[in-house]
């Protein structure tokens, strides 16, 4: 790990991976076993930052608005969001919940080697995954979810611009990157020129489509507006952006709750995941007596938006919309999810953590007055539909913008460009499982092994 200021003005590698996040790190680690790899990450080191290394400080990341914060704050549709800006990416600033995705994800991601899928999960889990000891609070939540009819699941806890050139067949080919260090000095890194040398974008659902557009690959109208030379017109880049909406219910508790993080997730029959987060504020709470109980994640979702670049500065977050609850089915799932949470709150198993004389309407009204987004709302909840719309927050599970079959092929190669792949959450059609972290880590390892195998076979055939 080195600061970019120490990089040579010009360097050469077999692979250049842009983005040291959830997919980029296992990918670069795998490829570097046999070949030279440059991994570029725009953020700083996570080590020594207590807001990252301590789960108890998880929420502090989202209040840090400094220029060097590991969380780059932005707002879309009145919802305060966060873009990771640190080595480790979203894996380092999330709550640490790890659960393998369902088989449907493997199918949609075109991961056809089931043995390699399982081996890739195990490779990650040997290094960074552990099973927590479930504490008293999560145990009560688990029992409450069972009473409410829910199945619980124990989880485990750039300045980079792609260079292109045109081959004799008039087909663009990625061959290098330009990156800027903290002092403003430019550096160039090139591929060595081997037949299988590649640049791989792993900058995430916000970064990868943004960098493609800044490099001249994207919707012509956007590129022309910013006077970016069109290398390849690609109207699907930036399309299909999605974020799983989160709607939490915080409950005033008569007893103190020890911090537990996220240890239990309830899997509902209608397509929502209900998480437990006890003893600390999952978003914001006005008093330590409020114990976060249930962030709810809508699976999918069906609602989608788009990403657009507004300037040529890769450090700025692009304009993005997720169109939360645009599709009625997403809203129906939210209503059912909140109703299930309220049922669990009133269960016998949860009785020790709720004031006996407090009604669910009072709990909802309290939540309506809590900070958490910039939406204009009333002080009382007139319906669960209104509650979902007015209290929506982000689950930080951004995906889309470089979908398979639209922007990349089944090998994650960008259509119409040689030597360029995208391997990260921007390729995902639906956010897998309770949390995409495990699946994206697996994807990075899976594709690293696949690319390595293809290259070794090619070298042997010469």
Which residues are part of the catalytic machinery? Answer: 397
Known binding residues for FAD are: 86, 396-397, 425, 436-437
Question: Quick one: three-class SS letters along 139-189?
Answer: HHHHHHHHHCCCEEEECECCCEEEEEEECCCCCEEEEEEEEECCCCCEEEE
Query: Closest Cα to residue 293, out of 278, 272, 274?
Result: 278
Is the Cβ–Cβ distance between 258 and 279 less than 8 Å? yes
Helix/strand number for the chain, H first, E second: 12, 21
Query: Closest Cα to residue 215, out of 13, 401, 447, 417?
Result: 417
Query: Closest Cα to residue 97, out of 155, 23, 22?
Result: 155
- Rounded CA-CA distance 265/370 in Å is 23
Which are the contacts of 364, defined by CB distance < 8 A and separation ≥ 6?
Answer: 249, 342, 380, 381, 387
- Rounded CA-CA distance 461/193 in Å is 18
Kind and range of the H or E run holding 393: strand 393-394
CA distances from 106 to 91, 428, 440, 446 (A): 20, 10, 11, 11
Which are the contacts of 430, defined by CB distance < 8 A and separation ≥ 6?
Answer: 104, 105, 108, 299, 300, 399
Query: Is residue 405 helix, strand or coil?
Result: coil
CA 22, 107, 117: angle at the middle one, nearest 5? 55
Bridge-partner residues for 414, per DSSP? Answer: 408
Query: Is residue 227 helix, strand or coil?
Result: coil
Burial of 177 (0-12, 13-18, 19+ CB in 10 A): buried
- Rounded CA-CA distance 281/257 in Å is 11
Q: Strands, E, within 77-132: which ranges?
A: 79-84
Which are the contacts of 462, defined by CB distance < 8 A and separation ≥ 6?
Answer: none
Is the Cβ–Cβ distance between 335 and 385 less than 8 Å? yes
Which are the contacts of 279, defined by CB distance < 8 A and separation ≥ 6?
Answer: 137, 256, 257, 258, 259, 260, 291, 292
Q: How many residues does the chain have?
A: 462
């Amino acid at each position: 790990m080195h600061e970019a200021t120490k990089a040579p003005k010009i360097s050469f590698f077999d692979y250049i991976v842009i983005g040291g996040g959830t997919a980029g790190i296992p990918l670069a680690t795998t490829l570097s076993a046999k070949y030279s790899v440059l991994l570029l990450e725009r953020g700083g080191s996570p080590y020594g930052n207590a807001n990252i290394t301590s789960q108890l400080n998880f929420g502090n990341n989202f209040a840090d608005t400094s220029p060097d914060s590991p969380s780059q704050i932005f707002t879309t549709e009145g919802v305060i969001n966060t873009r990771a800006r640190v080595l480790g990416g979203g894996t380092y600033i999330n709550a640490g919940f790890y659960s393998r995705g369902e088989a449907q994800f493997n199918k949609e991601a075109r991961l056809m080697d089931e043995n390699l899928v399982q081996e890739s999960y195990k490779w990650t889990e040997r290094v960074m995954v552990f099973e927590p000891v479930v504490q008293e609070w999560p145990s009560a939540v688990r029992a409450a979810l069972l009473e409410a009819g829910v199945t619980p699941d124990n989880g485990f806890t750039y300045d980079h611009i792609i260079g292109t050139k045109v081959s004799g067949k008039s087909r663009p080919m990625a061959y290098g990157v330009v990156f800027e260090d903290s002092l403003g000095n430019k550096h160039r890194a090139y591929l060595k020129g081997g037949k299988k040398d590649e640049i791989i974008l792993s900058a995430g659902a916000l970064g990868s489509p943004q960098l493609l557009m800044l490099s001249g690959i994207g919707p012509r109208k956007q590129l022309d507006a910013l006077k970016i030379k069109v290398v390849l017109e690609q109207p699907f880049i930036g399309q299909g952006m999605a974020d799983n909406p989160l709607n939490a219910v915080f409950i005033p508790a008569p007893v103190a709750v020890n911090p537990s993080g996220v240890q239990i997730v309830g899997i509902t029959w209608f397509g929502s995941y209900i998480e437990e987060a006890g003893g600390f504020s999952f978003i914001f709470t006005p008093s330590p007596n409020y114990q976060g109980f249930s962030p709810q994640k809508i699976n999918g979702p069906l609602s989608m938006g788009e990403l657009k670049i507004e300037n040529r500065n890769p450090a700025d977050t692009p304009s993005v919309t997720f169109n939360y609850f645009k599709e009625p089915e997403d809203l129906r799932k939210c209503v059912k999810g909140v109703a299930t949470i309220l049922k669990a709150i009133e269960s016998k198993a949860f009785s020790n953590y709720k004031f006996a004389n407090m009604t669910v309407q009072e709990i909802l009204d309290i939540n309506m007055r809590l900070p958490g987004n910039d939406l204009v709302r009333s002080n009382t909840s007139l319906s669960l539909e209104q509650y979902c719309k007015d209290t929506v927050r982000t689950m930080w599970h951004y995906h889309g913008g470089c979908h398979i079959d639209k922007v990349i092929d089944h090998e994650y190669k960008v259509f119409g460009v040689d030597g360029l792949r995208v391997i990260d959450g921007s390729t995902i059609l639906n956010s897998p499982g309770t949390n995409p972290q495990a699946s994206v880590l697996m994807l990075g390892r899976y594709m690293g092994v696949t690319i390595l195998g293809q290259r070794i076979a090619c070298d042997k055939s010469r």
